[in-house]
């Protein structure tokens, strides 16, 4: 091996080492100098249940980056189970699945959280929602539905769940049927107007 090739290999290794150190410092806040310390919390969770010999699906809410804490590493132990991570506007979840399981089952999850003053919760931008002006008596029916669902809920997720159950579920009442009837009439009129405006052959 020539001396030039040797210097090139050494230079490449130095660049890779420096880049790795910078990436570890920026992403995981690993200190540059000896003696500096960072506080890391290790959180473990175990799910124990008895399977009945059929398919199993288990969902577990997971922590994410939040004010003062940053996720470093995650590990799971679930022999024979399929595992998928999902994220939506409500947060992150882990979903274990298996076609057939029987007897005592145990699923493990662990995460390391770095205490960091610079960590921030992920920004959640609310979607643009088109407002629909309700006329009487539909506005009164909508207000009563909202009040009932709000009283039975604890947060935004459970409020949406209760509202959906009131509209589409078994406990659908007169207010929900009134609003659904008005919405169906509006859709029918929009479709009728579109057909009237469309004139083939011209």
Chain segment 129-146, per-residue pLDDT in tens: 666 666 777 778 788 888
**The total number of structural domains that make up the chain:** 2
pLDDT at 51: 92
Residues 99, 144, single domain; the answer is no
- 3-state DSSP assignment of residue 181: helix
From 52, 82, 115, the end of a domain falls on 115
From 115, 147, 177, the end of a domain falls on 115
Residues 46, 104, single domain; the answer is yes
Element (H, E) at 74: strand 69-77
Global confidence as pTM: 0.47
| Domain interval for residue 169 | 138-197
Residues 45, 110, single domain; the answer is yes
pLDDT at 134: 63
pLDDT at 195: 44
Contact (CB, 8 A) for 115 and 38: yes
Cis ω on the peptide bond leading into residue 49 (within 30° of 0)? Answer: no
Residues 145, 111, single domain; the answer is no
Could you say which residues of the chain have pLDDT below 50?
188-202
Residues 150, 102, single domain; the answer is no
């Amino acid at each position: 091996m020539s001396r030039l090739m040797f210097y090139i290999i050494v230079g490449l290794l130095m660049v890779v080492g420096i880049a790795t150190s910078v990436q570890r410092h920026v992403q995981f806040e690993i200190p540059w100098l000896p003696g500096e310390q960072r506080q890391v919390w290790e959180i473990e969770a175990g799910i124990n249940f008895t399977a009945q010999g059929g398919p199993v699906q288990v969902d577990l809410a997971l922590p994410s980056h939040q004010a003062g804490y940053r996720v470093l590493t995650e590990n799971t132990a679930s022999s024979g189970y399929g595992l998928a991570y999902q994220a939506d506007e409500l947060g992150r979840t882990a979903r274990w699945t298996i076609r057939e399981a029987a007897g005592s089952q145990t699923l493990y999850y662990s995460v390391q959280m770095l205490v960091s003053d610079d960590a921030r919760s992920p920004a959640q931008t609310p979607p643009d929602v088109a407002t629909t002006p309700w006329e009487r008596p539909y506005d009164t029916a909508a207000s009563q539905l909202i009040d009932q669902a709000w009283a039975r809920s604890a947060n935004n997720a459970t409020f949406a769940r209760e509202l959906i159950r009131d509209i589409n579920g078994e406990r659908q009442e007169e207010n929900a049927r009134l609003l659904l009837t008005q919405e169906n009439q509006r859709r029918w009129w929009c479709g009728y107007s579109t057909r009237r405006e469309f004139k083939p052959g011209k």
